[in-house]
Each structure stands twice: as structure tokens, then as C-alpha cells.
Structure 1
Amino acid sequence: MDANIMFLATDSSRAASPLPRGCTFRESDWHILAGFWHPVAFLHEVTPDKPHAARLLDVDLVLYRTGDGITVARDLCPHRGTRLSRGFIKGDEIVCPMHGLSFNGEGRCTRIPSVANPVAPIPPRLKLQTVLSQERYGLIWVCLSGEPIWPLPEWPGIGNPAFSKLFMPVDTWMAAASRHVENFNDIAHFPWVHTQSFGGDTDWAAPHYEVTHTAHGLSFWIPYLEGGNRFPDGIEAERRQVVYRYDLTFPFSTIIAVEPQDSDFVHYFADTVCPVSAHETRIFQVVTDTSGNPDPELWTRDAHIINAEDKPMVEEQRPEDLPLDLRDEIHIPADRLSIEYRRALVGKFGLGAPLTS
């Protein structure tokens, strides 16, 4: 849709499109991504006292909690297009800040204050555009198409009810979600970027590793000698030999199990992202370990340092968009995961389809 117009055409409702105005994605890619589950908020961020605003694939959303649970809808009142996230919660309903219309947990309008007759029928069309959502791992996931083409991730450790979960502070990266995912699954940058966290020797040669195609994505593992000891397992050592086990669920979710080799301790670090727009990404991370009661101060500090090392590198990558034509960038042996990831985004889902004139 042309952004430089003042009026919608008189027959615009006939050509209504789910594609948001000012969409930063190619139309074909938007429709594919709309069929996946994406995280939009932590469960604890949506409180009973006020609405919560979010954005996914350039679509503004409002999340609100009622006695029936959490409702996710497009962030606009069907009466005059006001943002409901500017409203408030009253009597288990969300209230529009402009004209006071109330909507229940199903998104149905229950009250129009300006109508004098309290029992006057309310048009059925006066209903919010709710979207499909579900809760898992303390996150709220949304599928904009309403027909998911891929399952939610299965996260060992994080999904164990005997282990307490830590929710890392949410951050926004001005980068494509796919660029973040590749960085999170990249092994060759460890000793160069993570000098203040776990990075080891810069003369480390990345081992050959095999990438396995799973039912939901990709997986691989590698050994690594970390440049310190960050594990609270009672082992006294300046450096730790570990195994990293990566499990990626398409399109943008990964869990790493970090296993120190001289201990039974395992650290689980799950990373999933919300593609706010083509070049803006919200990062959600959930952490636990086999102690069952992970140390919040330790692991929050650890994640903060690691993310602060990665963020400027990823935000400054060029091109900003992930090249899905493998000829567009040079690859090295350590890029096996990246290569399989790019191939799968094209071959499995049709992302990055050639432009047609």
C-alpha cells in the first residue's frame, strides 16, 4: 500500500490485506514468517493492571490479562483505530482510552458508554482482531497467520519442571533476527569476541563438526576449552573443558546445553527472538542448570557480558539482511551450521524467493 495517501479507497475493505502498512519485509517473506510461532513477551511482563504493547513483523499488538488468561490482539480499537495499549484494565476487560469501549477476554465489545440504552445490541463486528497465542517456558508466543506451519521449540532442561528458570532482561538489537541467530550459533568468534567472558585462545582451531537435520531444525556439538571457570559446581580450575550442544528450531530459536567435562553439571541457555521488523529484534533468553536452583546474579551477569560483546558486532554487520544466496558471502569450514541454516530457510520454507518483475 502506498504510504503517501490521505484517504482509503471507498472499496478498501474488499482488498483488505493482513500485510501491515509500511511493512519492512518482502511480502512473500512476511507471509511465510507469519506462519511461525514467535515470542512477543515474557509471561510476567503482562500484568493484570494494564495492557502490554508489543510488535511482531511490523504488526502492533496489545496483550492483556483477564480471568480467562492472556489475550493477544492487533493494537487497535475497531471503532476508530485507537491504540488499545494506551487504555486500561477495568473489571476484567480492556478499555479503549478514546471512547471507553470495553472488550472482554474473547475480544468482544461489551459496553459502549456513549450509547444511552444499556441493553442496546452491540454489533458483532465490534470485536478485536485477536491472534493465535500460547504460553510455554514463561513466554507468550504468537502466530499471526492463525495456522502454524512449524511447532514450538522443545527445550530440554528449560522444560524440566524440577528446575527453576531465570528470565534474562529483554534487549532490543537493531539487526535482523536471522543475523542474531547465526551469531548465536557461530563458534569461530568465541576467542575473538568473548574476551571478557568465556573466550579462550585465539590460536584455537575450530574442530570439524557434523550438522544434523532434526524434526524441528538443526543440531550439532563441539568441544571447547573456555578461558575461565564460570560454573558453580565446586570444581576448582582456572579453565574448563566443555562440550556445547546446540539445538536450533526454525526459524529463530536455539538452546545450548553447556557440559563441563569434569562434572555432572549442565548449564542450559535458551535464546529466542521476536522479529519486530526486518532490522529490529527483541531478544528473549531463559536460563537454568542442573542444580535446579540457578544463581540469578551469576547467570544474569554472565548473559549481560556475553550479549554486550556480541551486540555491536551483529548490529554493524553488512548487509543488514541475511544473504540466502550462498554465493554472496565467503564461507569457511566453521560455517557449517550457517550454511545449512541458510539452505534450509530457502529449501524448506521458500524464504528469500527470487524477486519477480
Structure 2
Amino acid sequence: MAFAHEIEDKPVNARLLDVDLVIYRTSEGISVARDICPHRGTRLSGGWMDGDTLVCPMHGLCFDHSGQCTKIPSIADPNAKIPPKMRLMSLKSEVRYGIVFACLSDEPAHPLPVWPGIEDESLKNLYIPSGTWHAAASRHVENFNDVAHFPWVHQGTFGGKTADPIPPYKVEKTDYGLSFQLPYLEGGNRFPDDVEGSERQVTYTYQLTLPFSTIIIIAPNDSDYRQYFADTVCPVSAHETRIFQVCTDTTSDPDADFLVKESLLINDEDKPMVEGQRPEDLPLDLTEEIHIPADRMSVEYRRTLAKLGLGAPMAS
């Protein structure tokens, strides 16, 4: 929903599944609530922070980290009791890996992702500037976990030869979602491990935490170097998605200039493809599109979403 470093001394607005939210920081940490004042429905994201309180811009009501109103300036009596119902509709939220996750229900249906490498405090995480894609969240996630498009879409970055077939791979069902490994011959040499060569044989390990979070562990086969690239999305609306990405590597001090630039280039290669896909919703009825062997991951992802009742409705 937001990068934690973007939440500073002002409230920030966000949207999750067409619900407007306000995110604000106090000494207690980051809080998330519906972006609506319980008094007269004003958008609180247009207000400001006064110390540890969020101030409504219309009547000056103040709210603490829990969402409770602590002050109503128009009441002259300083001892007047503020009604307990005068509080924000606060959401369950958590900051993990520098990302603010929020849940619209009382209890989340799925756990937050556990990302190896990204969670290693000895490694330095880099945050790719977030972007908005005009596409369904599931479309983005399927593309992020698709490998057959590499030599066609990513010729300008890391894509291999278009003549090389995608080898068979097996998708594993896990406690958190889905996972698979795949060997791939990358075009170019983008790894800072002092291994020479115009192309590199690597192994990708994908770990998808349902419904919308994935980490790729990229391991060149001829070195101990590892790169970790994580991607999670906020479904702003049915066909609008906010992308949040974090990466690191085993150098302990990854090259920010190179990795951030490369990641944005890769996103720019993918974005028009995904935004142009039709239908806009990911088809969960497997008979609606024709699949090829390299689609093993996307087929399992669609099956899993259908079982969970997520995504586009099944065709009758």
C-alpha cells in the first residue's frame, strides 16, 4: 500500500480495493485508517500532524495512533468527555520489509510474505520507486511469475535467445502459496561477481505468497552471488494496481544506481504488455484461453485463485 519511508510528517492518502485510506506516523509507529472523519466525513489525508495527533482540516478534531479522538477544539470545556464512538475506522496494518501492509477485514485471509534475503539484516535493501499499472493485480502477478516472455519482452535487459525453449519445470504447492525453480540462460552479464562472459546460466527460484506477493532468488550457476527481488502489489481498484518492489544481493552493498535503473527498465518493458491484455480480468476458467507447457505456473496460479474465490468469475 505504501513504502514506510514515504510516511513522514504529513498524512498520506492511499486506496485499497476502492476504499480511500489515510496513513500517518506517530511515535507509536505507522497507523492506517479509512480516510474519513467520523464527525462530518472530511478526508483526513488533507489534514496535518500536530505532534502525535492527526488533525482534521475542517474542524480541527485530533486523533491519536489508535484512531481515538483526543481533542475537539470547538468544545469550550476542557474536561468535557469525548464520546468513545468519536474514533477513526482504523485498519489492521503492519510494516514489513519497509512496506506498509493493511487489511480491510478484521483478520487477514493470508499471511504476509516471508522473503529470504530481504529479511536478512546484514544485507542492504533497495526500494524501487513504486508505480501504477492500469491492470488487474492478478494480471501483474501472473506476468511477474511468467518466464516464457523473457526472450521476447526483455531483449533490452536480460532476455535470452528467442530460439531457446523453456525447460520443463514443476510447481510446488507450499504453506504460503506456490513455488518453482527454473534454469535459464540470460543474455548479457548483469552480476557484480567478477565472472566474465557475454551470457550467464542462472537458476531462478520463485516463491509466490498468495494472493499477490512474489520473491525471485536469482543464482548464477558459476558463483556464490545471489540476488533477491521481491514484488508485491496493492489492488487500488479492479483494473488499477500499485506496484511495490524491494531488492538486495549478497554483496551487502548492492549497486543502487544499476539495480534501480535496471528494475525500472524491466518494468517499462512489461507494463504495456500487461496493460494491453484482454480480458482485463485474469480468466480463471482454464478453458477460456489456450495454454502451453511453459504456463505451468500461471495455470496453477489461476486454479488456486479460483479455489479461493478470487479474481474474475468462472464462466458458466
TM-score (norm 1): 0.87
For the pair 1:286 / 2:269, whether they are aligned, the reply is no
Structure 1 residue 106, shift from structure 2 partner: 1.2
Describe how 1:330-345 pairs up with structure 2 within 5 A.
330-345=290-305
Within the candidate set 265, 273, 287, 1:305 is matched to 265
For the pair 1:44 / 2:1, whether they are aligned, the reply is no
Describe how 1:109-148 pairs up with structure 2 within 5 A.
109-148=69-108
Cα distance in 2 for partners of 1:94, 1:149 equals 29
For the pair 1:68 / 2:35, whether they are aligned, the reply is no
For the pair 1:201 / 2:161, whether they are aligned, the reply is yes
Secondary structure class of the residue paired with 1:170: strand
Cα distance in 2 for partners of 1:111, 1:75 equals 18
Task: Specify the code of the residue in structure 1 equivalent to 2:163.
Answer: D
- What does the per-residue CA deviation read over 1:267-302, in whole Å, with 9 as the maximum and x for residues that have no partner? 110000000000000000000001111111010011
Structure 1 residue 122, shift from structure 2 partner: 1.1
Is contact 2:171–2:297 with CA below 8 Å preserved after alignment?
yes
Identity of aligned pairs, percent? 62
Aligned residue number for residue 189 of structure 1: 149
Cα distance in 2 for partners of 1:241, 1:91 equals 54
Structure 1 residue 108, shift from structure 2 partner: 0.8
Describe how 1:1-80 pairs up with structure 2 within 5 A.
40-47=1-8, 49-80=9-40
Task: Specify the code of the residue in structure 2 equivalent to 1:130.
Answer: S
Describe how 1:91-240 pairs up with structure 2 within 5 A.
91-240=51-200
For the pair 1:82 / 2:42, whether they are aligned, the reply is yes
Is contact 2:220–2:226 with CA below 8 Å preserved after alignment?
yes
Structure 1 residue 143, shift from structure 2 partner: 1.1
Is contact 2:172–2:178 with CA below 8 Å preserved after alignment?
yes
Structure 1 residue 350, shift from structure 2 partner: 5.8
Cα distance in 2 for partners of 1:303, 1:351 equals 27
Task: Specify the code of the residue in structure 1 equivalent to 2:4.
Answer: L
Count matched residues: 316
Secondary structure class of the residue paired with 1:285: strand
State the 4+ residue runs in structure 1 displaced beyond 2 angstroms: 348-356
For the pair 1:327 / 2:283, whether they are aligned, the reply is no
Secondary structure class of the residue paired with 1:326: coil
Aligned residue number for residue 3 of structure 1: none
Task: Specify the code of the residue in structure 2 equivalent to 1:159.
Answer: E
Secondary structure class of the residue paired with 1:300: helix
Cα distance in 2 for partners of 1:329, 1:345 equals 16
Is contact 2:236–2:242 with CA below 8 Å preserved after alignment?
yes
Cα distance in 1 for partners of 2:219, 2:282 equals 31
Within the candidate set 249, 260, 269, 2:209 is matched to 249
Structure 1 residue 91, shift from structure 2 partner: 2.3
Provide structure 2 residue ranges, at least 5 long, that are not aligned to the other structure.
Answer: none
Cα distance in 2 for partners of 1:65, 1:94 equals 9
Q: Structure 1 residues 58, 116: CA separation in 2 closer, same or farther (over 3 Å shift)? A: same
Is contact 2:138–2:311 with CA below 8 Å preserved after alignment?
no
Q: Structure 1 residues 166, 66: CA separation in 2 closer, same or farther (over 3 Å shift)? A: same
Cα distance in 1 for partners of 2:70, 2:150 equals 55
Secondary structure class of the residue paired with 1:169: strand
Aligned residue number for residue 237 of structure 2: 277
Aligned residue number for residue 255 of structure 2: 295
Q: Structure 1 residues 206, 168: CA separation in 2 closer, same or farther (over 3 Å shift)? A: same
Cα distance in 1 for partners of 2:311, 2:97 equals 27
Structure 1 residue 232, shift from structure 2 partner: 0.7
Aligned residue number for residue 31 of structure 1: none
TM-score (norm 2): 0.98
